[in-house]
Amino acid sequence: MTQHYRITLLPGDGIGPEIMSVAVEVLKVVEKQFDIQFEFQEALIGGAAIDATGEPLPATTLDMCRNSDAVLLAAIGGYKWDSLPRHLRPETGLLGLRAGLGLFANLRPAKILPQLIDASSLKREVVEGVDIMVVRELTGGIYFGQPKGIFTTETGEKRGVNTMAYTEAEINRIGRVAFETARKRGGKLCSVDKANVLEVSQLWRDRISQLASEYPDVELSHLYVDNAAMQLIRWPKQFDTIVTGNLFGDILSDAAAMLTGSIGMLPSASLGATGVGVFEPVHGSAPDIAGQDKANPLAQVLSAAMMLRYGLNQPVAASRIEQAVIQVLDGGDRTGDIMSEGMNYLGCRAMGDALIQELEKLAS
Ligand code: IPM
Ligand code: MG
């Protein structure tokens, strides 16, 4: 029986629309190859939404996302909107989407592809074989904690405040996702916190340690976040799955991403307890190259693969896309960000065409 899925597309800003259109073309090929039918509906978010409606996350967008099986997001933001008040910034739209869909678990894989080892700024022996999954808590911690704001003190001085807070329930649910993820991967989980200084981290560490008894097959370790940052650069192969809070996860996932050479290759999945997941590249909207057909669409395409695997339970179709990406790289095709000597330079659209050719070969 044909599986029917309604997908909300959020192309957003900068290179977003270009890379999204490649991902949609790829999905249209996948649709023909498997017994799947997509109904795509497009909505506004970020700067594009601010320009059109005056707000970064219009209510209609959130409704459309809620009424779909999965959301594929490209990227948001750009210089143009950087000086707007915070509630009108593109980033606020993204945070609203995460909160509005209850997406507390953010999975950010950083896996180095053998074809791209020389694109890493670290030595081959340090990065070869790196395969890390960062599980970042996404709807709590200092991003959302109260009180927050810029207040005026009694002396008339301004004081900026954010609050890092986690409840036991919030730690338990992200902890469970992390243990389950580690169990399906290399069986090792490293929890990252700052328990030597922060109470919120002490509770985090206590809860995660408690949970470990439910997962005897997973080997749990703990690191302070400063040490974790160092270890990621020093010897990343010691890591399998990492679990951490919102802010530490934001920072460490960028560092982990860069181990692989280009942030332009990495997808992510944001999942809630039930319902709709959001799938998006780790990279941003790259306004400096927007509209020039220079963007690398592979992270977007791999996000579509993650959508098939984690959001729609279509692992075979997901693998097909991932395989096509590997074949294209094996054939020597490269966008500018992963270009190296002797390789074949392609723009964004041409990279999409190359992927489609490979997909068609894989089906025959
Ligand atoms: C990310 C980004 C966002 C975050 C910004 C754009 C709000 O850096 O997804 O990592 O800080 O979470
Ligand atoms: Mg970030």
275 and 199 housed in the same domain: no
126 in any annotated domain: no
Q: How far is the CA of 67 from the centre of ligand 2 (A)?
A: 27
Is 194 catalytic? The answer is yes
Residue of 108, 137, 250 to mutate, ligand 1, most atoms within 8 A of C-beta: 250
Which of the listed residues 232, 258, 284 is the one where a domain comes to its end? 258
> 197's torsion region: left (phi>0), alpha (psi -120 to 50) or beta?
alpha
41 and 101 housed in the same domain: yes
For 46-112, give the DSSP string: HHHHHHHHSSSS-HHHHHHHHTSSEEEEEE---GGGTTS-GGGSHHHHHHHHHHHTT--EEEEEEE-
4 in any annotated domain: yes
Q: Environment class of residue 96 by beta-carbon count within 10 Å: exposed (0-12), middle (13-18) or buried (19+)? A: middle
What is the number of the ligand closest to the CA of 108? 1
Rounded Cα distance, 231 and 157, in Å: 40
* pLDDT for position 329: 96
Is 5 catalytic? The answer is no
The pTM assigned to this predicted structure is 0.93
Task: Give pLDDT tens digits for 66-83.
Answer: 999 999 999 999 999 999
68 and 156 housed in the same domain: no
Q: How far is the CA of 150 from the centre of ligand 1 (A)?
A: 21
122 in any annotated domain: no
Q: Which helix (H) or strand (E) holds 293?
A: none
Q: Ligand 1 pocket: which residues have CB below 6 Å?
A: 91, 94-95, 250
Is 206 catalytic? The answer is no
* pLDDT for position 62: 97
Which protein residue has the closest C-alpha to ligand 1 atom 8? 250
Which structural domain, as residue segments, surrounds residue 220? 131-258
Q: How far is CA 168 from CA 11, 17, 275, in A?
A: 35, 40, 23
Q: How far is CA 1 from CA 279, 312, 322, in A?
A: 25, 15, 24
38 in any annotated domain: yes
Which of the listed residues 258, 276, 300 is the one where a domain comes to its end? 258
249 and 141 housed in the same domain: yes
For 219-284, give the DSSP string: EEEEEEHHHHHHHHHH-GGG-SEEEE-HHHHHHHHHHHHHHTS-GGG-EEEEE-SSS-EEEEESS-
What is the number of the ligand closest to the CA of 106? 1
Residue of 88, 94, 244, 247 to mutate, ligand 1, most atoms within 8 A of C-beta: 94
73 and 179 housed in the same domain: no
* pLDDT for position 167: 98
Task: Give pLDDT tens digits for 19-32.
Answer: 999 999 999 999 99
- The low-confidence residues of the chain, meaning pLDDT below 70, are 274
Cis status, amide bond into 147, omega within 30 of 0: yes
236 and 275 housed in the same domain: no
123 in any annotated domain: no
103 and 72 housed in the same domain: yes
* pLDDT for position 274: 67
Task: Give pLDDT tens digits for 216-266.
Answer: 999 999 999 999 999 999 999 999 999 999 999 999 999 999 898 878 899
Q: How far is the CA of 42 from the centre of ligand 2 (A)?
A: 24
How many structural domains compose the chain? 2
CA angle, 77 as apex, 76 and 82 as ends, to 5°? 160
Which of the listed residues 200, 229, 258 is the one where a domain comes to its end? 258
321 and 337 housed in the same domain: yes
